[in-house]
Amino acid sequence: MKVIPTNDLPIKAWLTDLEPGAELQAANLANLPFAYHHIAIMPDCHQGYGMPIGGVLATDGVVVPNAVGVDIGCGMCALRTNLMEMDRPTLKAIMGQIRETVPVGFSHHKEAQDNDYMPGHPDVREQTLPVVRREYDSARKQIGTLGGGNHFIEIQRGSDGRIWVMIHSGSRNIGKQVAEHYNKLAVGLNERWHSAVPKAWELAFLPLDSDEGQAYMAEMQYCVEFALANRKLMMARISEAIDAQFPGVGGGDLINIAHNYAAMEHHFGKNVLIHRKGATRARDGEAGIIPGSQGTKSYIVRGKGNRESFESCSHGAGRKMGRKQACRELSLEDEIRRLGEQGIVHAIRRQDDLDEAPGAYKDISEVMANQADLVDIVVELTPMGVIKG
């Protein structure tokens, strides 16, 4: 950890190569009048909208929608199977069935999925969820779908001798609609209040004791629950594909973590709202998941409860190239060759696919070394087959 001083709160960063845009955003966070104690920056940090990805912000009395982001509840699930081996033809057969039952990218189910998969109907459970109610029927067609960008399904070989399944996905369009609605609302209210927070910082806020703040927190929580339900349904469909090849194989308990959300927690003697944007909670002994890229290892970890990071750790390797930059500068032949040499079944075919190539990401081994005081590694996971959105 290194400390970067600002005019107000310090920035505590678990990396040495913080890019200028992300450092400026972190400084903006540190100078917010409602920010508390310090700003924590994880080793996978890179520039985002308003707040850097891989950042942790504690606030007193307010919530900042852009400090959660547009993919509310985005996170990881991992499941250890009882399988010890899986040959390449069987792996391809399983991946083929997954593609038939789990839509990816912009695709969704043609028919609405059963209400039982959803985290409660908003008209029954809560009367203060206007955006969720508006988007509910559409969300029933999106639950159990992967999405695009850096979301993935991966079948992996664990250092514990078991085959694992990992999913990275979020709240799909319902989370995006909630995020955009309340950020727009916050911007308008901040202008009306002549807020001291510059509009250019993209960090408009809502007081927690306001109707608007309470509504955002309720809708955000629904999206967190929807994102988990989404991952659970995908994992059920993946398990069916594995069971078709290995009847009755079974597995362990599901590990789930979110890395885009805000929650009330107690830190440094005060109850504050912790915003994690591209950061994972890592309380002492808590299980966590830190993915690499589709050509590098991922990790099951155990948190150390480091108070200086607000009990947090990285959510992945972190980008070192923007998407357009990666497509321009990376070599398609080189990236395909490297994945082929590792025997990974992947989907990089065109230049446009390079936005998610391993070369676009930071070195995960360096990221893990930088947070040795935040987590312990429990299992190393090596990719065998990858499905991307």
Phi-psi category of residue 37: left, alpha or beta, with phi > 0 → left and psi -120 to 50 → alpha: left
Residue 254 phi, psi dihedral angles, 5° rounding? -75, 130
User: Dihedral sign, CA of 304, 290, 40, 218?
Assistant: negative
What Å distances lie between residue 166 and 148, 288, 332, 388, CA to CA? Answer: 16, 12, 25, 12
Tabulate helix, strand, coil % of the chain (nearest 5). 35, 25, 35
Q: Which amino acid, residue 46?
A: H
In three-state secondary structure terms, 25 is helix
CA angle 159, 369, 1 (to 5 degrees): 150
Instruction: Label residue 325 exposed, middle or buried (CB < 10 Å: 0-12, 13-18, 19+).
Output: middle
Is 315 an active-site residue? yes
Supply 56's token pair. 């942790």
- Residue 346: which residues within 8 A CB-CB, separation 6 or more? 294, 295, 336, 339, 385, 386, 388
**Does the predicted model carry a pTM greater than 0.75?**
yes
Distance CA 283, CA 288 (A): 9
Strand ranges for 268-328 from DSSP E? 270-277, 279-281, 287-290, 298-303, 312-314
Burial 30-45 (b: 16+ CB within 10 A, else e): bbbebbbbbbbbbbbb
Q: What stretches in the chain show pLDDT beneath 50?
A: 124
Residue extents of the structural domains in the chain: 2-320+361-388
Rg of the chain in Å (alpha carbons)? 20
Listed in sequence order, the DSSP H helices in the chain are 20-30, 88-101, 122-125, 130-142, 172-192, 211-245, 323-329, 332-341, 364-370
Distance CA 243, CA 25 (A): 47
Distance CA 359, CA 336 (A): 11
Query: Which one of the listed residues 108, 259, 315, 346 is annotated catalytic?
Result: 315
CATH number of 2-320+361-388: 3.90.1860.10
Q: What pLDDT does 128 receive?
A: 73
In three-state secondary structure terms, 119 is coil
Instruction: Label residue 185 exposed, middle or buried (CB < 10 Å: 0-12, 13-18, 19+).
Output: middle
How many C-beta atoms surround the C-beta of residue 253 within 10 A? 8
